[in-house]
Amino acid sequence: MGKAAGFGVHMDSIKVVGGAELNGIIPISGAKNAALPLMIASLLTDETLTLSNVPRLRDVAQLMQILSNHGVDYSVNGKRSGQDDLAGQTLNLTAREIVDTTAPYELVSKMRASFWVIGPLVARMHEARVSLPGGCAIGTRPVDFFIDGLAALGAEIEIEGGYVVVRAPGGLKGARVEFPKVSVGATHTVMMAATLAHGETEIVNAAREPEVVDLARCLKAMGARIEGEGTSTIRIQGVPRLHGAHHAVVPDRIETGTYAMAVAMTGGDVLLQGARTDLLEAALDTLRQTGADITQTPDGIKVHRNGNGIQPVDVTTEPFPGFPTDLQAQFMALMTKAGGTSQITETIFENRFMHVQELARLGAQIQVDGRTATVDGVSTLRGAPVMATDLRASVSLVIAGLAAEGETTVNRVYHLDRGFERLEDKLTRCGAQIERISG
């Protein structure tokens, strides 16, 4: 991957001139939060795992580097003629032999999801040494659940010098693993580990997210025996080995919801190509209550808002199938222009209201009290320079800028590139006045 993975200097900004409706087609990329665990699953077999519809994102490039450190060979299929340049890429990942069972701090610290390699490594190699991840701006995400889950499967675990050292000399053994709190990452990790364990594993209080279901579907294509994915109890019968497979990454429900909210905010009519309503019903129901028309078509989801105003709606973030925390900032942007007062309660992450003071710079009226933000809708937002604090906050500022009078400049957009593939290209195609300014 080399230099390309850096995607230019980190000081890029995005300039938005508000006021245009969005009309046209936005192709929805594969889900980053599904692609990362799917790529990590390649460590479970010595055969090739082929993933299609993989988004072109910095996190994907970063994980490729981390996996190649363990001995995964990868190739990227070239574009076929006539293919849309916004279509996903196809990766072939082959971990013929694992050359290194250590995931060093300098790699794991750049990306928390890379900690998940601990599950496949200990399942296949019976040992792993993985750095504890560094902090992340949006609150603490403990790795205790991962460690307790692997310990339940019979692994011996020590923390040495900032590393989690896991050994399972005779291999992992199936067991009942009950999580005290729903954790997507821990569910991914224990599920992957259990596929090669001896006997049956039962994961209780498992995450139900579509990305967990997608990983289970891929593991089953590789020969794993899994049932119950999408419910809170997943059962896995261990098998001696997994084989290669082909798997298409599920469409990104957060990207889908983000663009749906952008259309609800600006007005217009957009087809979110390839999107599926079943992946984010709670968020789409909430959007319908604000006055947007949303319909599933064979090609994707159509979102339309005619001239009528935006209705205020209260929302509380919840684990799937509830309203996703990853759409909270975008929904708050939408509510800043609602005709009335709405309340947004964040129950998943602390520090998830960092976009509030930046939205206020555009003229939004928002009061925060603990976990709840009260938004009094205003008739007009006015463009201003703002600063992105994290991935979802940065895109909420872009959405607000699309509906603000005049020009908004969003600085520090490198956060955006972690999770949104070619955002400005997709919006420009639908009539938005938006451009990236290189730093």
**Residue numbers belonging to the annotated binding site:** 32-33, 112, 181-184, 326, 348
Q: Is 16 in contact with 401 (CB distance < 8 Å)?
A: yes
Residue type, 227: E
Residue 264: count other Cβ atoms within 10 Å of its Cβ.
Answer: 27
Q: Is 152 in contact with 176 (CB distance < 8 Å)?
A: yes
Angle between helices 391-403 and 253-266 in degrees, nearest 10:
20
SS3 assignment, position 317: strand
Catalytically active residues, by annotation: 136
SS3 assignment, position 69: helix
Positions at the binding site for phosphoenolpyruvate: 32-33
SS3 assignment, position 338: coil
Closest-CA residue to 315 (of 394, 230, 372): 372
385 pairs with which residues across the strands? 409
Phi–psi pair at 352, nearest 5 degrees: -100, 20
Cα–Cα dist 239/242, whole Å: 7
Cα–Cα dist 58/435, whole Å: 19
Q: Is 30 in contact with 250 (CB distance < 8 Å)?
A: yes
Phi–psi pair at 360, nearest 5 degrees: -60, -30
Q: Is 59 in contact with 10 (CB distance < 8 Å)?
A: no
Cα–Cα dist 303/283, whole Å: 13
